Amino acid sequence: MAVLLCSEINSAHLDDLLGRFGLKVKRMPVDLELPGSFWKAPEAGLVGDTLYISDVTPVHSALHESCHYICMDQQRRAKLHTDAGGTAIEETATCYLQVLLSDLIPEMGRKRSFKDMDEWGYSYRLGSAQAWFEQDAEDALAWLIEHQLIDNQQNVLFKVRQ
């Protein structure tokens, strides 16, 4: 199964969603390097408040990098270029938030997000992204609530970490 690509969704869905967090989405030609891509194309890149994608960037990558931006503190966000950095728990929270945001992309949804994460090689000790999310992610959930990025009902609050 191929993962869902940015070219396969309505670009307004991604732009509108990420714009609520102050992120701009810049689409690049497929044959150009993506600025700020830590893993190189087709993975999404981050520089400041701009997410760089191409038509062949997986949607899960665009969401994941965006969630790094949302989850990092203001000091790191102010200097952001390519490497989001952060702690292990912040990375876990980034993955959790990525799943929640996928529900807000009509073409994606949570189930597709889980499948794409597994297909791309995300690795969880319970064997799948869905099993991790449902049975082993209490720490990520608590972190997101503590930093007021989601509420107790797991609703996204559309703000970045302060």
pLDDT tens digit sequence for 69-90: 999 999 999 999 999 999 999 9
* Bridge partners of residue 51, in order along the sequence: 25, 46
**Shortest CA distance to 109 belongs to which of 60, 54, 142?**
60
Q: Is residue 124 part of a domain?
A: yes
Which DSSP helix (H) or strand (E) runs through 118? helix 109-120
Cut 0.85: pTM above it: yes
Task: Summarize the confidence of residues 34-49 as an average pLDDT.
Answer: 94
Task: Write the pLDDT tens digit of every residue in 94-152.
Answer: 999 999 999 999 999 999 999 999 999 887 888 899 999 999 999 999 999 999 999 99
Inform me whether the pLDDT recorded for 1 exceeds 80.
no
Strands 45-47 and 24-27: unpaired
Domain membership flag for residue 152: no
Residue-number span of the structural domain to which 69 is assigned: 6-146
* Domain-embedded: residue 49: yes
For residue 131, what are its two tokens?
């099993």
Chain centre to alpha carbon of residue 14: 11
Provide the 3-class DSSP secondary structure of residue 22: coil
Q: Which CA distances in Å does 128 have to 1, 103, 124, 132?
A: 15, 18, 6, 6
Residue 154 lies in a domain: no
In a domain, 1, yes or no: no
Specify if 157 maps to a domain: no
Residue 67 lies in a domain: yes
Structure tokens at 82: 């390519």
The answer to whether residue 53 scores a pLDDT higher than 70 is yes
Query: Do the domain assignments include residue 153?
Result: no
> Running DSSP on this structure, what letter comes out for residue 45?
E
Domains held by the chain: number: 1
Q: The tokens 């503190």 sit on which residue?
A: 73
